[in-house]
A and B are shown apart, each in its own frame.
Chain A
Amino acid sequence: MRHLLSIADLGGDGIEEVLRLTDNFVEVSARAIPRVPALRGKTVVSLFYEDSTRTRLSFETAAKRLTADTMNFSVSSSSVNKGESLRDTVTTIAAMGVDAIVVRHSSAGVPWQVAKWTDASVINAGDGWHEHPTQALLDCYTIRERRGSLAGLRVAIVGDVKHSRVARSNVLAFSTLGAEVTLVAPPTLLPPSLSGWPVAVSHDLDGVLPKADVVYLLRMQRERQTEALLPSLREYTALYGLTRDRARLLGDDTLVMHPGPMNRGVEIAAEVADLPRAVITRQVANGVAVRMAVLFLMLGSGGDLG
């Protein structure tokens, strides 16, 4: 398989392979010269329709550390009219001879469409509410780093699951690796149907926290208030925020995670974000190594990803 569009593309073995390989790239990244020539001569293009400096930089750093050449198409919403041909942009890029395209877009499904119009490998860096596979991979790696295997771990994913591509990919990845996943959110922030999802659901955060091994907080966007999904952010924090008091309910080894950027004071209290159990900066650091592993598997290993 030449693309990484969904975590489902990898399966359990694929995820394990990426995580194993990530160890190697963590070592590379820790060196004085964090670079290997593995993707020399390959070109990796970022096609980001949504503003996201951190993810784009993470991918670019990963590519550069592999000695790949990088190109950057940051299409901010002001310079693209809705209706400007996605297909034309992709075929233009493809005509320049690229090996991989990393795509982020606010519309679900765009990476699948892009994959139809190019022979290059396509990596989904986030498509609307749908998926964000490399985020899930780096989250799995971070958990493993601190807690060992995910099998049997109890993971609580808290917050706006309905609109979260991170949640969807994480549910797939964590459960594939054997974790027990519980979604904690008000009914308005859960998808209309959870039929077939390998999850439990709770609306009671206080009840879930003491038993959780990992608490994964999702970002609460201010706009949700205007969509009649929440009465107010204050109420959200009161019922679902990881406040200082709530953090005391957590087990000694429980990890607190967040995909970033954090809304301190909303889904997570400022002090809690700085506790040793909050591994958010580890997530970011691991992101580069994980993305190196993905790029290497797709373009350098000569084998098939997944």
Chain B
Amino acid sequence: MAEVLIQGGTVVDATGRRTADVLVVDGVVAALDNAIDGPSGARVLDAGGCVVAPGLVDLHSHLRQPGREEAETVESGSRAAALGGYTAVVAMPNTEPAIDSAAVVREVLDLGAGACCDVRVAGAITKGRRGEELAPLGEMAALGVRMFTDDGAGVQDARLMRRALEYASALGVLLAQHCEDDELAEGGHMHEGDWSSRLGIPGIPTEAEAMMVARDVSLAQLTGAPVHFLHLSTAMAIAMVRAAKAAKLAVTAEAAPHHFALTDELVASYDPVFKVNPPLRPQSDVEAVKAGLADGTIDAIATDHAPHAQEAKELPFDQAPPGMLGLETSLALALNELELPMERVLALLSWQPARIAGLSGQHGGPIAEGAPANLTIIDPGAVWVVEPERLASRSRNTPYAGRKLTGRVRHTLLRGEPVVMDGEAQR
């Protein structure tokens, strides 16, 4: 098959950093060395000034297919992912129908077969995500599903969540929770606080997230099963996870870029592009997310990429659906907002989420001979401006329109194939 020579870059992975050219043959890293003389006929990718890293892994993307193809499809979403440096994404199950059975799992996996990145699937915990009965976790696990969540909503019933954790532990799969107590959140559309009071918009209190985190930490302890917390956004919840980890419980957590890059003050414009669940929070919570990412309390950055058609985001604020795009901007935001070295940022975007998703064999692993060539080449100095119409997603709902960012993916390789070259998707 094709030979690709990645030339002139600095390889950075979990083992460290070194200047090296990388030769990829037949989908696998064949050699790493200074100034490799590539075989003639090899495609040369210029990585001068760039970081050559394992491909990023997104634990949390809404690809909208089946059911909401006007907002995104597996194809367009995976293209956006590849442009963002991702070689694998986990597709969330709040599709229509929900991914709560082997049939729908198969459908999405088939759609992902020819995609620009490795499309994995998270199955629903409960049938239809209704929070009433367990979905056939075993059946879905047999198709390779490693992660389950009712994301979009949290499992409200504590007894049901306990049973789900117990059942899941036997399958060796991971349950992930969208932490939101529906009763407390009741009809809120933004963070409950100074801004919601001023703007006259019903709010979602911090405790709606924290209470379910507390509950599931206890259930994790009770059942001995691991739990992963999706999109944590509050200092209160992050502190609980910190304590749980100190107590050696098997909990992991992720945070979305908008929860360390934006605050609830932006809702004052009443632009529904700033509406998201969990909502944008005040600066104090933003600081807690950053601290959690720095000190290891939060294991991964996950985009919660949530495309919505333009009409949907032009509704009145309280009627508009929550969600923001994320795949093409997460890397730059992490580099610009977190004040962490490249190695730490890559850990949060690549190998740590790979491990949580059970993908370590294929993604995120050290770049060495024999490793699968799922790589991304990042230019950390590239300055660019976010233009919604030029994003690969079918939708335009990015809250960063017009923002100048530093750091951009130049090339991405999926199993040795360059799916992104010079910032352009190849298919």
Q: A residues engaging B (CB < 8 A)?
A: 82-83, 85-87, 105, 107-110, 112-113, 127-131, 165, 168, 191-197
B193 touches A168 (CB 8 A): no
Q: Which of B200, B269, B311, B314 is the one whose CB lies under 8 Å from A168?
A: B200
B197 touches A194 (CB 8 A): yes
Would you give the shortest CB distance from B272 to chain A, in whole angstroms? 8
Would you give the shortest CB distance from A122 to chain B, in whole angstroms? 13
A109 touches B311 (CB 8 A): no
B194 touches A108 (CB 8 A): no
Q: How far is the CA of A86 from the CA of B201 in the complex (A)?
A: 19
Q: How far is the CA of A109 from the CA of B269 in the complex (A)?
A: 8
Would you give the shortest CB distance from A27 to chain B, in whole angstroms? 35
Q: Among B87-95, B316-324, B342-350, which stretch is in contact with chain A?
A: B316-324
Most buried by A among B192, B197, B271: B197
Q: How far is the CA of A127 from the CA of B200 in the complex (A)?
A: 9
Contacts of A192 in B (CB 8 A): 192-193, 196-197, 203, 205
Q: How far is the CA of A83 from the CA of B314 in the complex (A)?
A: 9
Q: Which of A112, A128, A195 is the one whose CB lies under 8 Å from B194?
A: A195
Q: Count contacts between A and B, CB distance < 8 Å.
A: 72
Contacts of A83 in B (CB 8 A): 311, 315, 319
Q: A85: nearest residue on chain B (CB-CB)? A: B311
Q: Which of A108, A168, A196 is the one whose CB lies under 8 Å from B318?
A: A108
Would you give the shortest CB distance from B233 to chain A, in whole angstroms? 17
Given that A112-B269, A192-B192, A192-B203 are contacting pairs, would A105 and B316 also be in contact in the complex, using a CB cutoff of 8 Å?
A: yes
Contacts A/B (CB < 8 Å), 25 sampled: A83-B319, A85-B315, A86-B316, A87-B311, A87-B314, A108-B201, A108-B317, A109-B201, A109-B317, A112-B269, A113-B316, A113-B317, A129-B201, A129-B202, A130-B199, A165-B200, A168-B198, A191-B197, A191-B198, A192-B196, A193-B196, A194-B197, A195-B197, A196-B194, A196-B198
* B270 contacts partner chain A, Cβ-Cβ < 8 Å: yes
Contacts of B271 in A (CB 8 A): 113
A112 touches B270 (CB 8 A): yes
Q: How far is the CA of A179 from the CA of B346 in the complex (A)?
A: 56
Q: How far is the CA of A274 from the CA of B83 in the complex (A)?
A: 70
Assuming A87-B311, A108-B317, what are 13 further A-B pairs, CB within 8 angstroms?
A82-B319, A85-B315, A107-B319, A108-B200, A108-B270, A109-B201, A109-B317, A113-B314, A130-B200, A168-B198, A192-B196, A193-B196, A197-B197
Would you give the shortest CB distance from A116 to chain B, in whole angstroms? 8
B314 touches A86 (CB 8 A): yes
Contacts of A130 in B (CB 8 A): 199-201
Contacts of A107 in B (CB 8 A): 316-319
B201 touches A113 (CB 8 A): no
Q: At the interface, is chain B mostly helix, strand, loop or mixed?
A: loop
Contacts of A82 in B (CB 8 A): 319
Q: How far is the CA of A109 from the CA of B270 in the complex (A)?
A: 5
A129 touches B319 (CB 8 A): no
A193 touches B315 (CB 8 A): no
Would you give the shortest CB distance from A22 to chain B, in whole angstroms? 26
Interface size class of B (residues with CB under 8 A): 20 to 34
Q: Which of B205, B314, B316 is the one whose CB lies under 8 Å from A109?
A: B316
B315 touches A86 (CB 8 A): yes
Most buried by B among A83, A108, A129: A108
A113 touches B270 (CB 8 A): yes
Given that A85-B311, A129-B200, A131-B200 are contacting pairs, would A110 and B193 also be in contact in the complex, using a CB cutoff of 8 Å?
A: no
Q: Which of A109, A194, A195, A196 is the one whose CB lies under 8 Å from B199?
A: A109
Q: B205: nearest residue on chain A (CB-CB)? A: A192
A110 touches B203 (CB 8 A): no
Would you give the shortest CB distance from B152 to chain A, in whole angstroms? 18
Q: Which of B197, B314, B319 is the one whose CB lies under 8 Å from A193?
A: B197
Q: B195: nearest residue on chain A (CB-CB)? A: A193
Contacts of B314 in A (CB 8 A): 85-87, 113
Q: How far is the CA of A112 from the CA of B266 in the complex (A)?
A: 14
Q: How far is the CA of A129 from the CA of B190 in the complex (A)?
A: 14
Most buried by B among A109, A128, A165: A109
Q: B314: nearest residue on chain A (CB-CB)? A: A87
Contacts of B269 in A (CB 8 A): 112
Contacts of A85 in B (CB 8 A): 311, 314-315
Q: B317: nearest residue on chain A (CB-CB)? A: A109
Q: A162: nearest residue on chain B (CB-CB)? A: B197
Q: A111: nearest residue on chain B (CB-CB)? A: B270
Contacts of B192 in A (CB 8 A): 192-193
Would you give the shortest CB distance from B416 to chain A, in whole angstroms? 45
Contacts of A110 in B (CB 8 A): 270, 316
Contacts of A193 in B (CB 8 A): 192-194, 196-197
Chain B residues numbered 192-224 whose CB sits less than 8 Å from any CB in chain A: 192-194, 196-203, 205
Q: Which 8 A-B pairs have the closest CB atoms?
A: A109-B270, A130-B200, A107-B316, A129-B200, A191-B197, A193-B197, A112-B270, A108-B200
Q: How far is the CA of A129 from the CA of B202 in the complex (A)?
A: 9
Q: How far is the CA of A264 from the CA of B421 in the complex (A)?
A: 72
Contacts of B317 in A (CB 8 A): 107-109, 113
Contacts of B311 in A (CB 8 A): 83, 85, 87
Q: How far is the CA of A17 from the CA of B192 in the complex (A)?
A: 36
Q: A165: nearest residue on chain B (CB-CB)? A: B200
Contacts of A86 in B (CB 8 A): 314-316
Would you give the shortest CB distance from A115 to chain B, in whole angstroms? 10
Q: A131: nearest residue on chain B (CB-CB)? A: B200
Chain B residues numbered 289-317 whose CB sits less than 8 Å from any CB in chain A: 311, 314-317
Contacts of A195 in B (CB 8 A): 194, 197
Contacts of A128 in B (CB 8 A): 200-201, 318
Q: How far is the CA of A127 from the CA of B202 in the complex (A)?
A: 13
A108 touches B193 (CB 8 A): no
Chain B residues numbered 145-200 whose CB sits less than 8 Å from any CB in chain A: 192-194, 196-200
Q: How far is the CA of A279 from the CA of B192 in the complex (A)?
A: 36
Contacts of B203 in A (CB 8 A): 192
Contacts of A105 in B (CB 8 A): 316
Q: How far is the CA of A192 from the CA of B316 in the complex (A)?
A: 22
Q: A195: nearest residue on chain B (CB-CB)? A: B194
Q: B311: nearest residue on chain A (CB-CB)? A: A85
Q: B201: nearest residue on chain A (CB-CB)? A: A108
Q: A82: nearest residue on chain B (CB-CB)? A: B319
Would you give the shortest CB distance from A138 to chain B, in whole angstroms? 20
Would you give the shortest CB distance from A231 to chain B, in whole angstroms? 19
Q: How far is the CA of A109 from the CA of B271 in the complex (A)?
A: 8
Q: How far is the CA of A165 from the CA of B197 in the complex (A)?
A: 11
Would you give the shortest CB distance from B371 to chain A, in whole angstroms? 49
Would you give the shortest CB distance from A128 to chain B, in whole angstroms? 6
